[in-house]
Structure 1
Amino acid sequence: MTCLIIKSGSAEVMGEWKALFGKYAPGLRVAGWNDPDIRPEEVDFALVWEPDPGRLAQMTNLRAIISSGAGVDHITADPSWPRHVPLVRMGTDDATVQMGDYVTWAAFSLLRPTRQWFLHQQRHEWHNDGQSARTSTETCVGVMGLGNLGTHVAQRLVRAGFAVRGWSRSPKDVAGVECFHGDGQRREFLGQTDILVSLLPATGETRGLINRELLSCLRAPAALISVGRGTQVEGSKNRWLMRLARGFRVLAI
């Protein structure tokens, strides 16, 4: 019998996992991560979040490793994870739409001093700084990472009126988006970008990628919407980033 082992959520959630798989895949043997009756070589599929280092490598007959979330860095952080086994991540249409909503909202928020407006409103104050506002059609948003989420976000920004360019490790073709790829085209991508969106995966190559040198390539005054993994941003709790330059604005989740 095909065997699925699960490490995701508390022990109390295991009953819910079993009930759901029992409904949709009744022929599947479902076991908890620490089930003593399961031998490692019996496992066909592993559905995990932050698996114990070394455990996946012991499952010599694995057919796939499934992350119970959108990221896989919690799996690849284990030096011994079996690289020959397909690695699958979770993704839903709702999550994609929510990311598009958030980044579009953030981009528009960065066109105006929305934080100052909110604070003034709380104090019942009116201020007119006399500055003309930049419009979406005058603003270029650069999306780093053109996977499923990045492509959707880029297309949402195009429909919202922004000029959009995208950068990825390998060549991509996204309607309405000026696409760049590879290290050789990254500086060109950054040079005409006003608002940078980070949607890259967490890998050894992206660790600390967003640093002073990279951000200095953006067209000033620039802004960053950081929605990728925190390891991509160099520095402890982004403190250096906030000191980078007066007027540099950051939105992150």
Structure 2
Amino acid sequence: MVNVLFAAGAKRWPDYAEALPEAFAKAGLNVDLARDHAPETVDYIVTSPNGDVQDYRPYTACKLVQNIWAGVENITDNPTLTQPLARMVDPGLTQGMVEWVTGHALRHHLGMDLHIHGQDGVWRDFVPPLAWDRPVTVLGLGALGAACATTLAGLGFPVRGWARSAKDIDGVETFAGPGGLSQSLDKAQIVILLLPLTDATRHIMNTERLALLAPDAVILNPGRGSLIDNDALLGALDEHLGHATLDVFDTEPLPPEHPFWAHPKVTVTPHIASETRPRTAATVIAENIRRGEAGAPFRHLVDRSSGY
């Protein structure tokens, strides 16, 4: 019997209590899934950064802490967490991100807001360029970024991508390292931020880098709020940027008095770009536990030195 502690919160428990046993059975695992195992008996913990367990020291037999979020910046700095930590790489999460990014990229590319909000009897004769004349840059080429970049390239956009280390993605011109960042952003018309949040990426979009973008460029941020210097973004929107569609923020929910709510060039969405789906996430969790019980390497382990 494998003891799995679900510590991702009472709100998520009903959905996972249904999905996880099915996934465990398909993986051939005999699991006792509960929210209240005695710490010393726990073999695996399923959690989130704001989950029920914040002190991991009593869990002396725990082989793996499986995060249900893709982002891990709010859990990696926990000094009591010495067990291996895995982040969530889930096909449902990836598909949701691709849909949000593609939808908003096409919204801005086609100028949909002009017609959706312009039902006032004025015939607005606007014809957008074709996709191949609209350079797109994706910052972050992990599972989510690579999937979004590939999808947009498949629609005909010339896509550039940047990551800290070199990547090779069909149909995407890739850049790496500090020098490659400026090259990837130069005259981009749509920029999509899908980087993890680390000390190196915090405020990566600052005044200097925002100035590299094409006039009227659009920024989509479904990654992490602190990837952007908010003051720099507001200044750039007032000067030369066309729009920012933001799904993530330093403080969530975004306070009602925040200037993003009232800015005519900002769209706020409430951290919905992609949500972990229990049904598909359960298969990822079950596979990692199966690997642990078989003595195989865990998937998607977090590198503590890099922060993701």
TM more than 0.5: yes
Question: Which of 30, 34, 38 is matched with 1:31 structurally?
Answer: 34
Determine the structure 1 residue equivalent to 2:114. 116
Partner of 2:293: none
CA-CA distance at 1:77 after TM superposition:
4.3
Contact 1:44 1:62 in 2 (8 A): yes
Runs of 5+ consecutive residues of structure 2 not aligned to the other structure: 248-308
Amino acid at match of 1:89: R
Give the whole-Å Cα distance in 1 for the aligned partners of 2:242 and 2:68. 35
Distance 1:183 1:56, change over 3 A: farther
1:205 aligns to 2:209 (yes or no):
no
Q: CA deviation at 1:96?
A: 1.9
- Contact kept in structure 2, 1:192 and 1:219, CA below 8 Å: yes
Q: 1:159 to 1:96 in 2, by over 3 A?
A: same
- Name the aligned partner's letter for residue 200 of structure 1: L
Contact 2:196–2:223 (CA under 8 A) maintained in structure 1: yes
Please give the per-residue CA displacement for 1:151-189, whole angstroms capped at 9, x wherever unaligned: 111111111010001101111100011011111211111
**Letter paired with 2:246:** A
Amino acid at match of 1:59: Y
The 3 A distance-change label for structure 1 pair 57 and 98 is same
**Unpaired runs of 5+ in structure 1?**
none
Which of 175, 181, 184 matches 2:176?
Answer: 181
Q: Kindly report structure 1 stretches of 4+ aligned residues shifted beyond 3 Å.
A: 51-54, 241-244
Asked if structure 1 preserves the Cα contact closer than 8 Å seen for 2:4 and 2:45, the reply is: yes
- Tell me if 1:6 matches 2:14: no
Q: Who is 1:48 aligned against? A: 47
Structure 1 6/76 Cα, relative in aligned 2: closer, same or farther at 3 Å?
same
Residue type matched to 1:252 in 2? L
Amino acid at match of 2:34: A
**Higher relative contact order at CA 8 Å, sep ≥6: structure 1 or structure 2?**
2
TM-score w.r.t. the length of structure 1 is 0.82
8 Å contact from structure 2 (residues 210, 233) kept in 1: no
Q: Check 1:17–1:93 CA distance in 2 against 1; reply closer, same or farther (3 A cut).
A: same
TM-score (norm 2): 0.69
Q: What is the RMSD computed on CA atoms of the aligned residues?
A: 2.8
Relative to 1, partners in 2 of residues 1:15 and 1:127: Cα closer, same or farther, differing over 3 Å? closer
Using the alignment, how far apart are the partners of 1:142 and 1:196 within structure 2?
A: 5
Distance across 2 between alignment mates of 1:64 and 1:213: 41
User: Highest Rg: 1 or 2?
Assistant: 1
Change (3 A) 1:42 1:168: same
Q: Structure 1 residue 30: deviation in Å?
A: 2.8
Q: Decide whether the 8 Å contact of 1:198 with 1:225 is kept in 2.
A: yes
1:75 — aligned with what? Answer: 75
Change (3 A) 1:250 1:178: same
Letter in 2 for 1:127: W
Give the counterpart letter for 1:197 in structure 2.
I
Percent of pairs with identical residues: 28
For the Cα contact (< 8 Å) 1:141–1:195, is it kept in 2?
Answer: yes
1:75-94 paired onto structure 2 within 5 Å: 75-82=75-82, 85-94=83-92
Q: Helix, strand or coil for the counterpart of 1:161?
A: coil
Preserved contact between residue 212 and residue 244 of structure 1 (Cα < 8 Å): no
